[in-house]
Chains A and B, each alone.
Chain A
Amino acid sequence: MSTPAPHDPAAAHGPITAPGQLAETPALEGDTAAGHATVHGDESHGGLGLYLAVFAALCFLTTMSFFTYSSYWPWRDEPQVGWAFMMAVSCTKALLVVLFFMHVLWEANWKYVLTIPAAMMAIFLAVMLIPDIGLRNRMVSQERALHMARPADVLLLEQAASAAEEGADHVGNHDH
């Protein structure tokens, strides 16, 4: 009481203004290197070379999933192989975007708190749809069965198409 501390604004306000810096206005008072570093510890990560490498990888992976559509894809008769492949490619692409472009690789552990529960909820959400919607065609009313498309309809249309093609060929020959 008798010896008041010398008024030092930096010492007195430093810890209190830190959250202000942290929250919204890093650059207002953060021109000093120290303040800047505490606010954006992750700033030095990345770099043009890394981003371009990730970009190249993403383009390559897009080409890979497009490859399943091309005639060079060896498993054209087993679409499941292509689906699994494309999902693997998509997950890899998603991971690249999240880790590098969204800077999650360099974030602290809060990233797990936000992403893992959301991802689990997302998976549960889809799984919970399976009994009622995924298996909806196991048991259907007669009226619905009357109006819903069946593989036989596709077959019928294909037969009609090939018949039309033959007819067209026939007409063509006739014209010649």
Chain B
Amino acid sequence: MNASAASVGHDAHGHHGPVLQYQPGLPLSRGKLIMWLFLSTEIMFFAALLGSYVVLRFGAAVWPKPHHVHLSEPIGAFNTFVLICSSVTVVLALEAARANKRSLAKTWMLATLLLGSFFLGIKAYEYAAKFSHGIYPAAPRGLIYERPDLYYGSAVRARLGEPAIIEQMKELNARPESELTPDEVTGRRRLQQVREMAMGADQQAFDMAVIADQVMPLPDDAAGGHGHGGGLNETFPWLQLPIVIPGGNMWASTYFLLTGFHAIHVIVGLIVFGILLLYDLGPKHAGMIENAGLYWHFVDLVWIFLFPLLYLF
């Protein structure tokens, strides 16, 4: 059987074996297939993160409002806009490359790179705003306490008893009122009150709530927030007193995990675009642009769900 098949092949072509008709399993290139397989694992990766966030959030007894954790909805919406723009530019880069408009493709690719970097810059600004309020995912730097209870009170007392803080407070009290801003004058008076309350022997639960409110008030829904400003931690950045955000620790863990993993994906995408910029972006490399674009659109997709879940829920 084999011999006859071989001979037939020999008959047909003289010098070749049998001609095999290649039947591709899927009508797409290998690179694209692998990218889609990778993306389907990514769907599950982010579904696990987003799913746990939703389940943790709705299972929690208390979850902070976006304002309580200093999230700015307009900034988040703007970042969504930036990412959508970058999705459009990468699509246009692919179209340009297929049409053999190499310099145009390069321009769109560069625009994508810049928009992605812009997104990361805004994200970094937001992270910095959280950090400056003492909102970190974990304890050594994170200042968040869940409840205004005695544990919180003792943490405030411990912080106010640190030699460096005592020194700073002495310095503050020694300064004449004319040297201070009006905020600092009222802040100094309030800090004195907080100190007396924290050090006092007879403490009620409400006292702790008053201290927490003075250190960092939970802003109202209204954009203006409270009448009494940003609190002592904002007036005196060196103070770094413990703060109370009910549900804030779990919030910080999920927020930094979700946006952090998303930011890592953005960084990887930017590296890929940076490498692509080194190539000649003609039809020959359109497949590469397409695969990178698929990945980038997926990153955009994740943010489309992250933005409302984190900023607006």
Asked if B284 is at the interface (CB within 8 A of a chain A CB), the reply is yes
Q: Known: A130-B55, A153-B62. Contact between A87 and B308, CB under 8 A?
A: yes
Asked if B312 is at the interface (CB within 8 A of a chain A CB), the reply is yes
A102 to B94, CA, bound (A): 11
Q: Interface 1/0s, chain A 107-151, versus B by CB < 8 A?
A: 110100011011101110110011001111100000000011111
Asked if B60 is at the interface (CB within 8 A of a chain A CB), the reply is yes
Are B227 and A165 neighbours in the complex by a CB distance under 8 Å?
yes
Which of the residues A93, A125, A133 comes within 8 Å of B56, measured between beta carbons? A133
Q: Known: A51-B92, A83-B313. Contact between A22 and B24, CB under 8 A?
A: yes
In the complex, what's the smallest C-beta–C-beta distance from B12 to chain A, in angstroms?
Answer: 6
Are B50 and A126 neighbours in the complex by a CB distance under 8 Å?
yes
In this complex, the interface size class of chain B, counting residues with CB under 8 Å from chain A, is 35 or more
Residue of A nearest to B63 (CB): A149
A57 to B247, CA, bound (A): 36
Are B22 and A157 neighbours in the complex by a CB distance under 8 Å?
no
Are B246 and A157 neighbours in the complex by a CB distance under 8 Å?
yes
Are A86 and B22 neighbours in the complex by a CB distance under 8 Å?
no
Determine the chain A residues whose CB is within 8 A of the CB of B20 once the complex forms: 15-16
Determine the chain B residues whose CB is within 8 A of the CB of A129 once the complex forms: 51-52, 55
Asked if B184 is at the interface (CB within 8 A of a chain A CB), the reply is no
Are B217 and A161 neighbours in the complex by a CB distance under 8 Å?
yes
Asked if B161 is at the interface (CB within 8 A of a chain A CB), the reply is no
Q: Known: A59-B81, A97-B87. Contact between A157 and B228, CB under 8 A?
A: no
Are B80 and A62 neighbours in the complex by a CB distance under 8 Å?
yes
Determine the chain A residues whose CB is within 8 A of the CB of B36 once the complex forms: 114
Q: Interface 1/0s, chain A 139-176, versus B by CB < 8 A?
A: 00000000111110110111111011100110000000
Determine the chain B residues whose CB is within 8 A of the CB of A86 once the complex forms: 308, 312-313
Determine the chain B residues whose CB is within 8 A of the CB of A103 once the complex forms: 290
Residue of A nearest to B147 (CB): A153
Q: Known: A22-B29, A43-B98, A134-B58. Contact between A157 and B212, CB under 8 A?
A: yes
In the complex, what's the smallest C-beta–C-beta distance from A119 to chain B, in angstroms?
Answer: 7
Please provide the 9 A-B residue pairs with the shortest distance between their CB atoms, ordered closest to farther: A126-B51, A122-B47, A149-B246, A4-B14, A160-B209, A118-B40, A27-B284, A134-B59, A86-B308
What are 28 inter-chain pairs, A to B, with CB distance below 8 A? A4-B11, A5-B12, A12-B19, A24-B30, A26-B29, A51-B95, A62-B80, A66-B77, A68-B312, A90-B304, A90-B305, A97-B297, A98-B301, A101-B297, A102-B298, A114-B39, A125-B51, A137-B59, A147-B151, A150-B246, A153-B148, A153-B209, A154-B246, A161-B226, A164-B213, A164-B214, A164-B226, A164-B228
Q: Contact residues of A with B, CB < 8 Å? A: 1, 4-5, 7, 12, 15-16, 18-19, 22-28, 39-41, 43, 46-48, 51-52, 54-55, 58-59, 62-63, 65-66, 68-69, 79, 82-83, 86-87, 89-90, 93-94, 97-98, 101-103, 107-108, 110, 114-115, 117-119, 121-123, 125-126, 129-130, 133-137, 147-151, 153-154, 156-161, 163-165, 168-169
